[in-house]
Each structure stands twice: as structure tokens, then as C-alpha cells.
Amino acid sequence: MNKLLFFIVFFVISNAQAADATYFSELKAELDQAVPKILDKHKAPGVAVAFVQGEEVTGFLSYGFADIESQKAITENTMFNVGSISKVVTSWGVMQLVDQGKVELDKPINNYLKRWKIPKSEFGTENVTLRNVLSHTSGLSLGPYSGWGSPTDVPSIVDSLNGKNNGAGDVKLIHTPNTKWSYSGGGYSIVQLLIEDVSGLSFEDYMQKNVLKPLGMNNSTFNVTPAVMSKSATPYDENAKKTSMIYFAEQAAAGLQTTAIDLARFNLAVLKNKENKYNGSRFISQALIKEMITPVANTGGRWSMSYVVDSENKSLGFAGFNQGWIALTRSITDQNRGYVILTNSSIGSVSNDIDSLILSKLRKPKSE
């Protein structure tokens, strides 16, 4: 590289880094003013927010408390449950099996299941595929799960699929595949089973090895032990009353425990590096990532095989809701930025208000 070209590249990169620093500084100033008022307005305990740009985590902010009684602060290492965002993370695990040729997107998903099969149905079980399961167009039953108040009550994933899941019901085909969108947490329990049956590993071990560790998510796990809970915020209900932790056999659907920094690192997977390649292309091909984030038919353009597609805000994201926890993640693809918002309560207005504030800042015309 000649000296002039080196100088130009260095100048461009330096200016970009300075702009990123200014952007975060301005955004932080606004959030520092607004978020404590939002928490006070809704009587909410706390929130953690993390930001990414390009290939880097660019900022972390926290407000309120991880535990109200002890006034324990939320730190970069404080863990939260992220509910259905677990599904998006899971999609990056199963898509590696697709990339390796071990699973095909459009073959009957029953072909890959050893310990349990989708029961025969008038609606055509043979037409349930990984593609339509991931995009909630499979016709499978069962939306959210209730979970269990004690880890000792948690059944096996096969028992859960058969209906032992604290009232959610058994997983079965309830309408014709590929005809309409219908949210199915049960479908992701099938994906969990598929990962185990095809890989020969437990779901949590497979995800740790193939997704969490490669993305640098070292403070994240699907195995929620007492040690994990000792690092986690205290969950509170919609009235800011302390509530118990809920445990899930359906880890792929609802079980990820993580930090704001780690979930922000996950956001980086669909952002691009200096070579204009997806950061996640280190372990899933460019072509497959593009397929993962493209809206699927019969979803009104709103759902891909992994993400909610917000065309208005040019973002890919998801939200998670479990008792005592609400989480939100967005990757703003046209700006190559992203952020996550994690709260330790069921007070949904907190994350909504903060999300709206950040989006208004990001989408503000440059002339303003």
C-alpha cells in the first residue's frame, strides 16, 4: 500500500471512529436524562442497554437496580433471561447443520427426528420442514410456554412435546403448512430435538460450542443453574413485585440466560465487517445468512427464518417475554448498528419507551 493510499484509508477509518464516538456520547447524554424518568414513571426496577457498530461493541449503559432490596447495581456481567430471543439464537445453531449438509431446509423435518415424530395429520405432516418451522408458517400448535417454578420439575424435551409442559399442550399440526403465519413455540421445541438428534450432543452443549463460544458470548448459557442465577438480576412482575424464576425444558424457545454485552455480540452476526461480509459468515455461509434474514412467504413480509423484519426501520430483531423479564434486540442494517434492551421486570412500557427513544435518535435527519 503506498503512503497516499494508507493515509486516505487511515483518515477515513479515524473519521468513522470519531463519528461513532460522538454518536454514542450524544445518545448516552439523552438516555442518561430520559431513562431514569422512564423507570420512575413505570415504577420499574432496572434496565441494561448495549450498542454495537460494525464489528465492535461500542457501549454499555445501565440504570436502576438488579435487585431493589439490596440496591445491587446492574453491571456488564449481570445476566437476564431473554425469553423468545432464544429462538433467534437457536436458528444460528440449526443453520450450521444446514450449512454442513446434515439437514435440508425443505425436506420433511420428521426425517431428522429419532426420539419423537410429529403425529400424522390430515393437514400433511410431510410438508412440515425446517424452513416453515423457523418462520412460523408450519401449521404447528402451541404459542408460548408457561415454564416451571423449580428446575426439579422440568421434564425432558420429549415429554414436553407430548404435552407434559405445565398446561401448554402437546405439539401437533393444526393447519396446512405454508398457508399462513401462526406463531409456534412448539416448533422450536422440535428444532431443539432435531439439534440433539442430529448432532448427538445435548442442546445446551451444542449451542455453547457452536454459537455462544464462537460469538464471544462467554457469559451466556441455556443451562440455568444456581450459579447462573447468582449472577442474574432479580425478576419482578408487572407491578414491580419480586417474582420467582421460571425454568424451561423448551430451552430453544425460551431458555437463554445472557448479559446485555453478550446479546449485543450476537447482534453483530448480521452486521458487516470492513470487507462488507456478515460477521456471522465465520461459521455460516454468506448465502445462507442472506436466506435467513429474507422475509418468507405468507408472513406479510414481517418474518424471516429467524428474525422479525421491520422494513420501516430497516431492522432485524426480536422481543422476548417471560415472567419477570422483557428483552428486545435490533440490528439496524442500513446503518450497520444495533442495540439490545434488557429489563428485569414484566413492565413492557420500559423497553418500548427506550426503543422508541433510540430509534428517534438513529432516524433523525442529518440536518437536525
Over residues 136-157, the pLDDT tens digits come to 999 999 988 999 999 999 999 9
Please say if the pLDDT value at position 368 is more than 70: no
Instruction: Give percent of the chain with pLDDT exceeding 70.
Output: 93
Q: What is the pLDDT of residue 6?
A: 43
Sorted by where each starts, the structural domains of the chain and their CATH numbers stand as 33-362 (3.40.710.10)
- Return the H-helix or E-strand segment holding 5: helix 3-42
Which pLDDT score is estimated for 364?
A: 72
Grid cell 395429520 in the structure block, residue: 121
Query: 237 Cβ partners below 8 Å, 6+ apart?
Result: 243, 323, 324, 345, 346
**Which pLDDT belongs to residue 21?**
66
235-271: b (≥16 Cβ within 10 Å) or e: bbebebeebebbbbbbbbbbbbbbbbbbbbbbbbbbb
Q: What's the confidence (pLDDT) of residue 10?
A: 43
C-alpha 1/C-alpha 7 separation (Å) is 10
Give 24's pLDDT tier (boundaries 50, 70, 90): confident
Look up residue 121 and give its three cell numbers. 395429520
What's the chain's average pLDDT? 93
2 — phi, psi (to 5°)? -75, 165
pLDDT given for residue 106 in this prediction: 97
- Rounded mean pLDDT of 170-177? 96
Question: Order of strands across the sheet with 72-73?
Answer: 72-73, 56-67, 46-53, 337-343, 325-332, 315-322, 308-310
pLDDT surpasses 80 at 8: no
Average pLDDT over residues 180-192: 97
Q: Is the pLDDT of residue 9 over 80?
A: no
pLDDT interval class at 23 (50, 70, 90): confident
The 10s digit of each residue's pLDDT in 101-134 is 999 999 999 999 999 999 999 999 999 999 999 9
Q: What is the mean pLDDT of residues 37-44?
A: 97
Percent of the chain with pLDDT over 90: 89
Q: Which of 276, 263, 317, 291 is nearest to 98 (CA)?
A: 291
Distance CA 190, CA 345 (A): 29
Residue in 278, 368, 276, 274 with CA at minimum distance from that of residue 316: 278
Q: What's the confidence (pLDDT) of residue 306?
A: 86
Burial class (CB in 10 A: 0-12, 13-18, 19+), 28: middle
At 135, phi and psi to the nearest 5? Answer: -95, 5
CA distances from 211 to 159, 169, 217, 221 (A): 26, 30, 8, 10
**Mean pLDDT value across residues 161-171:** 93
Cβ–Cβ under 8 Å, residues 201 and 251: no
Q: Identify which has the larger pLDDT, 25 or 233.
A: 233
Using the predicted structure, report yes or no on whether residue 7 has a pLDDT greater than 80. no
At residue 205, does pLDDT exceed 50?
Answer: yes
The pLDDT, as a whole number, for residue 19 is 56
Please answer whether residues 247 and 147 qualify as being in contact, where contact means their C-beta atoms are separated by less than 8 angstroms.
Answer: yes
Nearest to 326 by CA among 304, 305, 351, 309: 351
Dump strand ranges (E) for 237-364.
257-258, 308-310, 315-322, 325-332, 337-343
pLDDT at residue 2 is higher than 90: no
Q: Where are the beta strands (DSSP E) in 226-270?
A: 257-258
pLDDT in tens, 267-325: 999 999 999 999 999 999 999 999 999 999 999 999 999 899 999 999 999 999 999 99
- How far, rounded to the nearest angstrom, does the alpha carbon of residue 31 sit from its chain's CA centroid? 23
